[in-house]
Copies of this chain bind each other. A is one copy, B any other.
């Protein structure tokens, strides 16, 4: 049988665990896997585009364990009562090819995307960073704030979204948790004095959610919302202000903010900064930019963390996904007493 963590079990697991512990644990798994980046099979995700959005498969393998995620992105979904992104994922044993673990990943992806942002900020933001501007307060925003708190202790937030209801929802969810939240008048106001700028908007356009002249020296920019061709968030002039860090260059050239730059524009891969091969931030004035699009290895790390965390608990169940005939050459024997062909 295949182990399974469904939505309600995921919700219970997060509710009964400490979310900071989960995010920190996931960051450890992510960092471990970034540091052994070379062993993974890497390929750009396999995308099926429609006029309304995209459905993607994201596979990777470290030659012991294979993982893939199914994920959609449909920006017009919320207006119709659906979520922009839903996902699920699988871990399999490469030695026999059997799927061993399946989990909902709508919530898990929110955690892994935030944990990746937190881990990257731990490596690239100024060590004295104490405040974050949050541009876009949709589904991913609370998770981003919690991850920056887990990674760097950040409790001061300045938020902006063109949808007042989304800002009210963010305040309602996060103020009771102890965050000091300022609702800004616009994006320029939001980033005033912030040490980290996180942009997380969903429109499938080349957007410009922030004026370039509002970006101050020394900030770390964490741009999360642009993640497919034709979908970017930042005025490209901002990208010329700092040093750009990416997950997997061939994918980010197509999907990330840097799709608007020359294909030869220099970028650094995160694993280089996490292994010491690249120095990362080199001065307090430097602007660092994480062009986050999400890569399959992060899902691999998140699934592995979840699998280990819930093993043997009642947060996992089993699904009847793989036929197990007594004789592996006798699959037909399983379907049993069929009537004669007559």
Contacts and interface: CB of A to CB of B under 8 A. Distances in A.
Interface of A: 4, 6-11, 14-15, 18-20, 41, 43, 46, 48, 50, 52-55, 57, 59, 61, 63, 66, 68, 70, 72-74, 77-78, 80-84, 86, 88, 90, 92, 94-99, 104, 106-107, 110, 138-143, 146, 149, 155, 163, 165-166, 169, 173, 176-179, 319-325, 327-342
A335 B14 contact: yes
Contact of A6 (B6, B73, B139, B320): B320
Nearest to A5: B320
A205 to B, nearest CB: 18
A161 B213 CA distance: 75
Number of copies: 2
Contacts of A9: 320
A83 B338 contact: no
A342 B73 CA distance: 34
Contacts of A90: 70
12 contacts: A6-B321, A11-B336, A19-B335, A52-B97, A55-B97, A57-B59, A70-B92, A72-B97, A104-B320, A139-B332, A143-B332, A173-B332
Give the 3 A-B residue pairs with the shortest CB-CB distance, closest first.
Answer: A72-B97, A6-B320, A142-B332
B322 A319 contact: no
B96 A331 contact: no
Main secondary structure of the interface of A (DSSP, over half): mixed
Contact of A333 (B54, B169, B323): B169
B331 A110 contact: yes
Contact of A340 (B10, B140, B178): B178
A86 B322 contact: yes
A7 B323 CA distance: 6
B48 A41 contact: yes
A331 B15 contact: no
A104 B321 contact: yes
A12 to B, nearest CB: 9
A97 B68 contact: no
A196 to B, nearest CB: 16
Contacts of A330: 139, 169, 173
B66 A68 contact: no
A211 to B, nearest CB: 25
